[in-house]
Structure 1
Amino acid sequence: MDDAAVLEKKGYSLSNTLGQGSYSKVKGAYCNRLKCKVAVKIIDKTKTPGDFWERFLPREIEALRRLHHPSIIKTYEIFETSAGKVYIVMELGEKGDLLDYIKITGAMREDIARMKFQQLASALKHCHNLNFAHRDLKCENILLDDGLNVKLTDFGFSKPLSQDKNGKTVLSNTFCGSAAYAAPEVLQGIPCDPRISDIWSLGVILYIMVYALMPFDDSNIKRMIFFQKQHRIPFPSTKHLTVDCKDLINHLLQPNVSQRLCIDEVLKHSWLQTPNSTIDSPLPAIEEGECSQNPREEKPKQNNRRHRTSAEVNKRLNAIVLKRPIS
């Protein structure tokens, strides 16, 4: 029985393909019960390596079943057929991913970036409080709903944390995610608490929000790690950032893991304590006049597992044509 027939029996009308990954595809669908559009991730276990469906898929399903937060993509239903296919029905990110949003709007004003970042950090706090590390934080895994609210997604590399007999967190030494967003200790294969490595990825995302550029060039990993360990973060003079915003970026992209902020410290940082900064505030739509869109690409894909290099990300972002400076 094909996917459309399986889903029709469950009350879903299948439509277009939203994304294609190494071991899965994501389709759009309409749910007759919920009366709304949804995204359906389809995984064929017969075509995946044993390590994936024995380790990574169970972790992803466990995360989706346990993590419930306004800024995390909602999971409506998970079911498996006798033919070995797993279907994960999720909330649809109507407005695509964060990278595409930045490509259209350009570097964000700090007030806009603050609201989005606060939603993202709040979602990550929920994960960390439940002892889950995401391990693949990047702009492509941050979707925006119809109101442009942040929705963290793609928990395919997530990991539930465990403790040893002394109650200490068991460290991870597995490389996951994209090199351009990965912390230096991950790239070097140094055992680490993956929650602290998530914080580094938050720093890369915040940098992209406010500059519409990647902070580091990953075309040469050894050279990139050298600059990261020197704590040499470029702050282009083309845009003014407040001292507080730069300070937060500096603390997030801290190569010394013992000095890097934890998620609670991130949310308490002075940049996020600005008056009128709330997690539930509606986010502004694309502002007319800031930038013009010159895309030559398709609409953003939901849960596309292909990892882009920093050069590819910058190429997407550099398609922006600025009409006036952004204050």
Structure 2
Amino acid sequence: MDEDPYLVGPNVSPLEKKNLFNFGHVIGRGSSFNSGNGLNGMNGIPGSPSTAPDCTLLKKYGLCEKGNIGQGATAVVRLAHKLTLPTSEDEEVSEKLFAIKEFRKRRKHETEKEYVKKLMSEFCISSTLHHENVVETVDLVQDEQHHWCEVMEYCCNGDLYNAIKQGHMSRVEVNCCFKQLINGVAYLHSMGVAHRDIKPENLLLDGQGRLKITDFGVSDVFRMCWEKEPHLSKGLCGSEPYIAPEEFNGKEYDARCVDIWACGIVYYCMVYQGIPFRAAISQDPNFQHFLEMRAVNNYEPFEKLPIGCRILMKQILDPNPETRITIEDILKDEWFQRIEICVHGENQNPHRHF
């Protein structure tokens, strides 16, 4: 569990989307494509990137540090410092930080069309999402070496995995983070997006203690804005300890259900500083023990939880996706509604994040 939270999971390619979003809307947000080239006949893929000097990463977002703040199989993440000079004597020089995700180069077996589709799949999803519990995606530009880079807000307090590893999270703090996670996932689902890789490494903490979901490299759009009914997803993706049991069957599945399962595993990790089992498969003895004890209401990690929390976690970590609780019903749950979310890192209890 040492992957950087900004990075796409290794060896997993995003599903190719069929003209998922209105690319004109995305380009209008400031991404550095040459709109004069139109869609270039590539099924919704923008044309060639602009080579204008003011569209480069350096010009738009400042100098990147030489070292990486994260590195993985498909990308590296650097920190960019954008300085704003004062316009009057009363002002001082200001600095804004951005996380810059530099994508891998195109592989030899990939066409340019295939390569750009993969980048745009992730960018078009993440740049359309705007919520306090989702990392803001700002732009997609090329740096001076012509590498494609995704520009995101920088969350200075790192990821939830490192916070869990430190072992200092109080139960109040755990519940606060869990509620923020559910609120973020509920927003994604309301937008027709399933994340499919919810895990502590993909949950960041900003300077005010807000939890934010990041990395949409394997996300799926299960419902377009004009569609009333969701469609099923396919493909095994994500990190094994957080993958729902139905994904291992090789059949199509409701991606919303797999997000809910992963949220339950994340809660378990926050409470017990570890995972309940390596994988939700019959060959895993810990998963088999979980199933046997859950069936007789005697799974010890559940039984140690307060009654309201215990009931909800049993519903979230239901191995049957048909009876697993929905995100809407989680939001209505009495115990969940009583969880107090901190304001700027504090609440009435009080607590401050990490």
TM-score (norm 1): 0.76
Partner residue of 2:315 out of 251, 263, 266:
251
Q: How does 1:13-162 map to 2 (within 5 A)?
A: 13-15=63-65, 16-33=67-84, 35-47=95-107, 50=110, 53=115, 56-80=118-142, 85-106=147-168, 108-162=169-223
Partner residue of 1:201 out of 262, 272, 296:
262
Partner residue of 2:332 out of 265, 268, 272:
268
The CA RMSD over aligned residues, in Å, is 3.1
Q: Residues 228 and 255 of structure 1 are in contact (CA less than 8 Å); yes or no, is this contact kept in structure 2?
A: no
SS across alignment from 2:283: helix
Percent identity between matched residues is 29
Query: Structure 1 residue 246: deviation in Å?
Result: 1.5
Q: Residues 179 and 187 of structure 1 are in contact (CA less than 8 Å); yes or no, is this contact kept in structure 2?
A: no
SS across alignment from 1:66: coil
| Letter of the 1:272 counterpart | F
Query: How many residues matched?
Result: 280
SS across alignment from 1:244: helix
2:146 and 2:283 mapped to 1: Cα distance? 41
Task: Name the CA shift for 1:29/1:281 in 2 (closer, same or farther; >3 Å).
Answer: closer
Partner residue of 1:190 out of 231, 251, 267:
251
Q: Residues 130 and 136 of structure 2 are in contact (CA less than 8 Å); yes or no, is this contact kept in structure 1?
A: yes
Query: Structure 1 residue 217: deviation in Å?
Result: 2.9
- Range moving further from structure 2, 177-186 or 247-256: 247-256
- Range moving further from structure 2, 48-57 or 133-142: 48-57
2:109 and 2:216 mapped to 1: Cα distance? 18
Q: Residues 345 and 353 of structure 2 are in contact (CA less than 8 Å); yes or no, is this contact kept in structure 1?
A: no
1:139 and 1:119 mapped to 2: Cα distance? 13
- Range moving further from structure 2, 200-209 or 188-197: 188-197
- Deviation string 1:145-164 (CA, Å, 9 cap, x unpaired) is 1122101111111111147x
Query: Structure 1 residue 169: deviation in Å?
Result: 2.3
Aligned to 1:321: none
SS across alignment from 2:139: strand
Larger radius of gyration: 2
| Letter of the 2:300 counterpart | F
Q: Residues 105 and 286 of structure 1 are in contact (CA less than 8 Å); yes or no, is this contact kept in structure 2?
A: no
2:301 and 2:184 mapped to 1: Cα distance? 29
The reply on whether 1:285 has 2:341 as its aligned counterpart is: no
